[in-house]
Structure formats: structure tokens, C-alpha cells
A and B are shown apart, each in its own frame.
Chain A
């Protein structure tokens, strides 16, 4: 089966800009969760969507937002980028209906903010 795909794979932005990242889950998976991974903080949970509804949210500022479409594809948006937003952004999809199960990860989007 096809895995989780994320686009773009690499992105370079400057401070103050905004960015949109996309995630296509494994076919049939209705849960999509997003994470930020940095060397210092590790893997931190951003939010989870299930059937187009945000089901869980981590402790990130409101500049980070997301949404999920009826085909389960999800987008994440970061507005007013800061240098500290440079990170690997990962999404994961799960077939479980239970909250909190990450499932399978995509390859990630490497965001660099200059």
C-alpha cells in the first residue's frame, strides 16, 4: 500500500512569511496528526484531525493551524514565521478510531526559516 506522503519535502522561507504544508494519509486512514521535530525538543505534537474535525491540540501558539478535507488529506499552516520554526514537520496517519494513536509517519517536510 502507498504510504503517507508529504509535500513539499523541503522549504526555505524568511521570517514573517507564512507557509502551508500538505499531508496525504494512507488510503482509508481517517486520523492525521502533525508534529514538529527539532534536535533540542524532540518530537512535539501539534494537532490531530479525525473526519475533518480537530480532535486534539498540542501546546503551540495560534500561528500554527491546520485543517482536514473530506478525503482525509490535511494541511498545516504556519503564519508569521519565526527563526525558531525551523524544523522537520512530520505528519502521521492512523486507521484507529481511538484518539492518540500516531500510526504511520510520512517522510516529513524540512522547513528552514531565514
Chain B
């Protein structure tokens, strides 16, 4: 079992829809959770981080954390074609990264 698991996708959603990206982790000692966006040929860019159970909203992005279920998700509302990228989930303090979910937003 990998430390951080994500569906590799590809996930396709129409423009304006909600994209839901999921991540599970195995180490109950994980404390902080990060979502990165990586465009093809570019380096990862931090979108959001979350420490506490519940939801955290930042603009069109909402991160959700459930430590009991060892589950973290990222919702992207009003998806835009510019959101098309690979989304990486990361956990600390172990520096574990998932292999990413490829998202395509169809105009």
C-alpha cells in the first residue's frame, strides 16, 4: 500500500462544473495536508493546505479533511479550462506525495 493514494485519472469535467479530487493516506501520524497543481512541463504550485478536520475554502477551491477516515479532498468550483493540470496531494511531516490526478476541463 502506498503512503498516499490518488486516482490517476484522467478526470474530465465540463467547464463550469465542480471537479472533485480525492486522496487517501496511510500514516495516522500525518498532520498537515497540501494540494499542489502541476502544469505539464512545469514545477508544482501550492494551491492549498489544511491542518484541521473540516473544510477550508479559498476562492474557487475547497479542501476537506477527515482524519478519522484518513481522507483529504479538493473541490474546484466553476472549473475553467485553465484548471486543466495534474493535482498532487502531499502529507507532512513525512513529505509523502501522491502520484497525482490528471484533470481536464472541457470548454
A residues touching B (Cβ–Cβ < 8 Å)? 33, 35, 41-45, 48, 56, 58, 90, 98-108
Distance A35 CA – B36 CA, assembled complex (angstroms): 14
Q: How many A-B residue pairs have CB under 8 A?
A: 58
B residues touching A (Cβ–Cβ < 8 Å)? 31-32, 34, 36, 42-46, 49, 88, 90-100
Distance A81 CA – B45 CA, assembled complex (angstroms): 29
- Interface pair A99/B92, CB less than 8 Å apart: yes
- Interface pair B94/A100, CB less than 8 Å apart: yes
Distance A33 CA – B44 CA, assembled complex (angstroms): 13
CB < 8 Å neighbour of B95 from A56, A106, A108: A56
- Interface pair A99/B93, CB less than 8 Å apart: yes
The answer to whether residues A45 and B95 also contact, given A100-B31, A102-B34 and a CB cut-off of 8 A, is yes
* 8 A-B interface contacts by CB (under 8 A): A43-B97, A45-B95, A56-B93, A56-B95, A98-B93, A100-B32, A107-B43, A108-B43
Known interface pairs A42-B99, A48-B95; 17 further A-B residue pairs with C-beta atoms within 8 A, sorted by A's residue number: A35-B95, A42-B88, A43-B44, A43-B90, A43-B99, A45-B94, A45-B96, A56-B93, A98-B32, A101-B93, A102-B46, A102-B90, A103-B46, A104-B46, A105-B36, A107-B42, A108-B43
Distance A108 CA – B99 CA, assembled complex (angstroms): 17
